[in-house]
Amino acid sequence: MLMKIYADENMPLVAEFFSHLGPVTLFNGRTVTPGELADAEVLLVRSVTPVNQALLTENKALRFVGTATIGMDHIDQSYLAGRNISFCSAPGCNAQSVVEYVLSALWYLAEKYQWQLSSKTLGIVGVGHIGQRLAEAAAALNIQLLLCDPPRAAIEADFTHTSFTELCRQADIISFHTPMVKTGLAPSWHLLNAQTLALLKPDCALINASRGAVIDNQALLQALQQQPRPVVLDVWEQEPDIQLSLLPHLDIATAHIAGHSIEGKARGTAMLYQQLCQMLGQAPIMQLANLLATPAVEKIQISENFGLPDVQNLARMLYDVRRDDALFRFHIQREGFDWLRKSYPPRREFGSVQLTGSKIPLWMAQLGFTG
């Protein structure tokens, strides 16, 4: 029995994956109305679409909601459960993409400010799918680590946890990878605010590729006007109507695209497809590997002389965050935030390139490369 499937128009390969299960109708995730979704049986969204009673007020047929994202703060899960609507997300789908964004930012900052990354301490706030993978990559680069994740610390006796206030005092770089949580024991809303900003070392660098409101953007602006510091923002409060007055104070500014590699976005679609097939009791017949285009660079041969200082040049050939910063600064006022996301140029992950050679360093795998 075919199902009526409605999907965000910016979800890659959605028709290729889902069309054998039913007709696929695409919609604008930012402007979609209840009337447009009145007869949807399957709803596939991204982070820009709040799924709640208001959106679904005209729908009586919905059976499945999937978000092709790690974050779920835009989904009213209690409401869906009350209507007996199945729900799934895509945890870890774009983790590697975000890690590559952060690594590119770190290499850029190190070059700009003449850092030796091995002499820096990186504080990672939120050590889930992305934060854990970033920790492994940073360890491969000999960067010292501080990890802050209260929920993990509460249930894992061997997790080496540093409180956020202590991390603020000690870290040379802080990278945020926490979900948006407004209540409970470890809320992340405005985690970095006027009070916690005051705890930072004067030159402590900040990277946010998680949720915009983890950092109080107004407090950040006021602090940067008094004390400049290296800052990389991929996410912003009140997207798409962001605080552009921050822009002159930022080293890197991008439009919530850290996770927007071709693999990262398509992996989210694939995960929702597999979950829907499972709910329907059908075996998946579409596979991501068969749908992805052949990368422009398939193989790279490295010699036995390849070492840690060389990895930055190899990575930059595949992705350089400065490209996205330039796109943002040129287009943000003329075209807007959502246009930048929708028009984002293709980016492949490190793992799309096969490394060949007689001696490939084992630590390359920690960065996401494959042999």
pLDDT at 321: 98
Does the pLDDT at position 15 exceed 90? yes
Taking residues 358-370, report their average pLDDT: 93
Which of 143-152, 165-174, 210-219, 357-366 is predicted least confidently?
357-366
Q: Which CATH architecture has domain 299-367?
A: 2-Layer Sandwich (3.30)
Taking residues 119-144, report their average pLDDT: 97
Are 5-93+261-291 and 95-253 equal in CATH topology? yes
Taking residues 91-113, report their average pLDDT: 97
Looking at the domain covering 5-93+261-291, what would its CATH class be?
alpha beta
List the chain domain ranges.
5-93+261-291, 95-253, 299-367
CATH 3.40.50.720 fits 95-253, yes or no: yes
pLDDT at 101: 98
pLDDT at 358: 87
For 202-214, write each residue's pLDDT tens digit.
999 999 999 999 9
Taking residues 243-260, report their average pLDDT: 97
pTM: 0.90
State the pairing for strand pair 231-233/252-253: parallel
The set of catalytic residues is: 211, 239, 256
